[in-house]
């Protein structure tokens, strides 16, 4: 990191710590970790229930019940214009505190944590105060976003890739920070911020135009976006062959529809090659993210592209693209390994006698095929063949 960028990161001023009552603190409905569910819950009860169900608070609530709240771990909150405080960092801790305090927002969780509530050592009420780093709205929003960016984009406490992209989109589209500013405060030298946002715009354009339905993906994701692996998308778009075929120009953060006119169908097809399509009963054509490069090469080749459209996997296309001698050699190696494995099972006495008897016919068929192949090769070696 350059001295200039390091200075920017380290010069983020500390927000003052205040002790604020639990009933004055609000859970954040737009928490980036909520991913595709972000903003989808209107009331605080739903948000708390979602946090408990999807992220768990068992470890946190146990610690708080027996040790109280550690002042060294303050919550991070934004002081809203209406005077309320929205916790942007520490929603699991706040949820645990609300359960312990018997807050109305945690009414659905009392039974789940009844044992802990009955044996808690500290007294918790709705008026119990906890330490909070408070960031004011307006001028201090840059400081808050810089803090969150440093903490969750490039650090050990990083959000998953979809949560990162969602947060970057919120900050950039609201005008709170530019893409360049986010890259600077996070020390991003590899265009990671740009790639995340482009992938986010790309897949959202397909969703908005009805070309991609996340629930139809057969390849599931995790974390904030369980429907599909978002990281595959921005990684795939970084291949020059893909960008050329899909007509993607240099990324413009003000353009939320990066897919050019006439290329949405091809873009949607590329996504289906990665993730499969439940609605069309089509499986994905790659086994894992390590094959994204091979898929990028295939999609750039007209002949291989037709094989993709026909449903051939990347492995199958690679096999078909080999020379005849390479295909033959691979078949021989596979056959040799398979027969050696079968022979080992027999020699070690692992095969039941009755099962062995039933397999004699199949063994005879394999032996006959091998003899026919050997005979054909010998005939090709004779002068008469030429």
Of 3-7, 173-177, 197-201, 282-286, which gets the smallest average pLDDT? 3-7
pLDDT exceeds 90 at position 297:
yes
What's the confidence (pLDDT) of residue 249? 95
Contact between residue 75 and residue 132 where contact means Cβ atoms under 8 Å apart: yes
C-alpha separations of 311 from 59, 210, 271, 294, 316 in Å: 46, 22, 13, 15, 10
Q: Where are the domains of the chain?
A: 3-186, 192-320, 322-348, 352-386
Q: What is the pLDDT of residues 172-220, one digit of tens each?
A: 998 888 899 888 888 888 899 999 999 999 999 999 999 999 999 999 9
The reported pTM is 0.71
What's the confidence (pLDDT) of residue 154? 65
What's the confidence (pLDDT) of residue 383? 65
Nearest CA to 211 out of 161, 165, 279, 284 is that of 279
What's the confidence (pLDDT) of residue 1? 38
Nearest CA to 228 out of 133, 162, 314 is that of 162
Mean pLDDT (the chain) is: 88
C-alpha separations of 226 from 17, 35, 204, 215 in Å: 36, 9, 15, 9
pLDDT over 70 for what percent of the chain?
A: 91
Q: What is the pLDDT of residues 213-262, one digit of tens each?
A: 999 999 999 888 899 999 999 999 999 999 999 999 999 999 999 999 99
What's the confidence (pLDDT) of residue 355? 87
Helices and strands, number each (H, E), in the chain:
18, 5
What's the confidence (pLDDT) of residue 12? 42
Distance CA 102, CA 343 (A): 67
Distance CA 51, CA 92 (A): 7
C-alpha separations of 101 from 67, 73, 97, 352, 368 in Å: 15, 19, 6, 64, 78
């Amino acid at each position: 990191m350059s001295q200039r960028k390091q200075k920017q990161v380290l010069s983020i001023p500390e927000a003052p710590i205040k002790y604020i009552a639990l009933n004055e603190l609000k859970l954040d409905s737009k928490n980036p970790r909520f991913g595709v569910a972000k903003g989808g819950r209107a009331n605080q009860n739903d948000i708390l229930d979602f946090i408990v169900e999807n992220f768990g608070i068992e470890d946190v609530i146990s610690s708080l019940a027996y040790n109280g709240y550690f002042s060294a771990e303050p919550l991070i909150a934004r002081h809203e214009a209406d005077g309320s405080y929205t916790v942007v960092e520490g929603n699991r801790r706040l949820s645990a505190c609300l359960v312990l305090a018997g807050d109305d927002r945690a009414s659905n969780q009392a039974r789940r944590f009844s044992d802990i509530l009955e044996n808690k050592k500290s007294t918790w009420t709705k008026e119990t105060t906890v330490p909070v780093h408070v960031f004011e709205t307006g001028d201090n929003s840059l400081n808050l976003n810089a803090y969150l960016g440093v903490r969750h984009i490039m650090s050990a406490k990083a959000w998953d890739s979809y949560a990162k992209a969602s947060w970057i989109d919120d900050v950039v589209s609201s005008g709170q920070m530019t893409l360049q500013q986010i890259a600077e405060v996070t020390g991003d030298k590899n265009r990671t911020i740009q790639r995340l946002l482009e992938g986010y715009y790309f897949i959202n354009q397909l969703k908005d135009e009805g070309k991609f339905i996340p629930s139809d993906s057969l390849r599931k994701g995790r974390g904030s976006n369980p429907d599909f692996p978002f990281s595959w998308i921005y990684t795939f778009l970084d291949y020059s062959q893909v960008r050329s075929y899909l007509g993607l120009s240099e990324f413009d953060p003000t353009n939320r529809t990066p897919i050019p006119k006439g290329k949405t169908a091809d873009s949607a097809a590329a996504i289906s090659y990665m993730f499969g399509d439940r609605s069309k009963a089509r499986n994905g054509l790659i086994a894992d993210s390590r094959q994204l490069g091979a898929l990028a090469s295939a999609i750039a080749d007209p002949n291989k592209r037709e094989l993709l459209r026909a449903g051939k996997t990347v492995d199958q296309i690679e096999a078909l693209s080999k020379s005849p001698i390479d295909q033959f050699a691979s078949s021989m190696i596979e056959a040799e390994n398979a027969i050696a494995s079968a022979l080992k099972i027999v020699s070690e006495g692992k095969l039941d006698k009755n099962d062995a008897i039933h397999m004699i016919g199949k063994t005879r068929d394999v032996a006959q095929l091998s003899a026919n192949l050997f005979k054909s090769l010998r005939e090709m070696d004779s002068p008469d063949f030429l």
